[in-house]
Amino acid sequence: MYRAPLLGHQGELLLRYTSSLQADRKIVCEVLEVLEAHVEELRESHLIPHEASEDILRELRALKGAPEALFAYRAEDVHEAIEMYLREKLGERAGYVGLGRSRNDHVAAALRLKTARLLLLQLLALAELRSLLLDRAEEWAEVLMPSYTHFRPAQVSTLSLYLASVDEMLSDYSEALAKAFEIALKSPLGAGASAGVSAPLSRERAAGRLFLGKLVTNALYASGSRDFLTIALALSASLAVALSRVAEDLILLSSPQIGYFSLPSEHLATSSIMPHKKNPVTLEIARAAAGEALGNLVAALSILKGLPSGYSLDMQQVNLYAVRSLELVRETLLVLRDIFQKIEISREAMRRDLKEYPVLAPDLAEIISMKTGRPFREVHAELAALVKEDPGGLYGEVERRYGVKADEEAIVRRPVKGSSNPEEVREYVKSARGSVGSLRKQLEELWEKIGPSCSPSAQSS
């Protein structure tokens, strides 16, 4: 439709090679909403006949409920397919829809809206997982377990300290993703192909319809950049890596050799040949998701890195990588929430390892150094020699030599901020729970404002 007057029709191979129509299923809802907002602005600005605007809006609203018809067209993308559909329904009146717009600013608008929504869904999933982790941290505040460095038993700690550490990590990502959301949710409408449009639209008013009134000011940047997308992708990839580490913790600590956790049966799979196997398959996919998110980020950046300013068709290839990653990371958050909701713990297995490994040695060295006034390094060397000589007899020898009792219940109550002390963790939980509650309320209110207006069947995500 667009190319025919100037270039003629394109052969099937080349159209298939360059067309993004089928990939546009992921953003069809946003494309229709953006076009609807544009037509409303044309009507508000008295730039097209009122009757034509009403007819176009009626057809666009019908399409939002059943957009499948668009994907039967021989079109370059969903934008062209919509105009072809409108032309069939409305004849020449459909031509008014092209005034004051370009595919460049409209695809940027749809992608910004889609990105903002996916980030908002990620943030909601983060808040839900954090709420659960905080509940579990409070419930298991007194459950002792070894902490690990280099995946070797390190110190006596608590299960709640581990859970609180995951929560604080997620808190940092909540802040970062909230900023990415703000960056994405800005309107490029009215920027045109690269330098604005001659139709006297109100860009600010158009921004108020879908983007809470926020605007990408510079027309060239508005229509020809994907920085909002790569920022979101980079943060999501980083979050996916962080979640992969949590998945690895759960895989290792639920192994039969360690047995601190028992994973929910629905997250396990058995073997085609080994009937005894219980494989942690959802967590393995969570690990793989981090690799996929990293690959998608590198693919997107590699596509964009050589482009000049302004729009190039290369950009359309980034869209699938971006949507896939943002959806995948949210799904991983939901999977982890389900696991932490149903996971069972073995206090006995944790106690076993506290007894088997000399994890009190670091604290005993500090306590002896403070009690005797001797340099810590001297005490450290003496305890290291005792461990080398007889690991199992360390605690008895320490009590005999230094009069210091190896009491894990006392030692775990370390006096410093943020330590494994159950009271410290409870204080953290209390503070974090308040901030998560406020965040969830804000996110839900935002979703009410910017959530999709398409029917569920019209959305691909």
pLDDT, position 10: 82
With 0-12 / 13-18 / 19 or more C-beta atoms within 10 angstroms meaning exposed / middle / buried, residue 5 is: exposed
Q: Residue 411 pLDDT > 70, yes or no?
A: yes
Residue 138 has a CB neighbour count (10 Å cut-off) of: 18
Catalytic residue chosen out of the listed positions 9, 50, 150, 276: 150
Q: Residue 9 pLDDT > 70, yes or no?
A: yes
pLDDT in tens, 302-343: 999 999 999 999 999 999 899 999 999 999 999 999 999 999
User: CATH: 3.40.50.1100, 1.20.200.10, 3.50.50.60, 3.30.360.10. Which one for 104-140+157-201+211-351?
Assistant: 1.20.200.10
Can you tell me the distance from the alpha carbon of 92 to that of 2, in angstroms, rounded to the nearest whole number? 15
Chain centroid to CA 292: how far?
13
Tell me the average pLDDT across 12-34: 93
CA atoms within 13 A on the CB side of 353: 21
Interhelix angle 28-44/103-139, nearest 10 degrees:
120
Average confidence score pLDDT of the chain: 96
pLDDT, position 237: 98
Tell me the average pLDDT across 26-36: 97
Domain made up of 4-99: CATH architecture: Orthogonal Bundle (1.10)
Q: Residue 460 pLDDT > 50, yes or no?
A: no
Looking at the chain, which residues constitute the CATH 1.20.200.10 domain(s)?
104-140+157-201+211-351
Bigger pLDDT: 314 vs 15: 314
Tell me the average pLDDT across 337-354: 98
Catalytic residue chosen out of the listed positions 271, 431, 438, 457: 271
With pLDDT > 90 as the criterion, what percentage of the chain qualifies? 94
- State yes or no: is 255 an active-site residue: no
- State yes or no: is 157 an active-site residue: no
Q: Residue 214 pLDDT > 50, yes or no?
A: yes
pLDDT, position 16: 86
Q: Residue 253 pLDDT > 60, yes or no?
A: yes
pLDDT in tens, 87-135: 999 999 999 999 999 999 999 999 999 999 999 999 999 999 999 999 9
- What pairs with residue 344 in β-bridges? 262
Q: Which two tokens stand for residue 194?
A: 């690269």
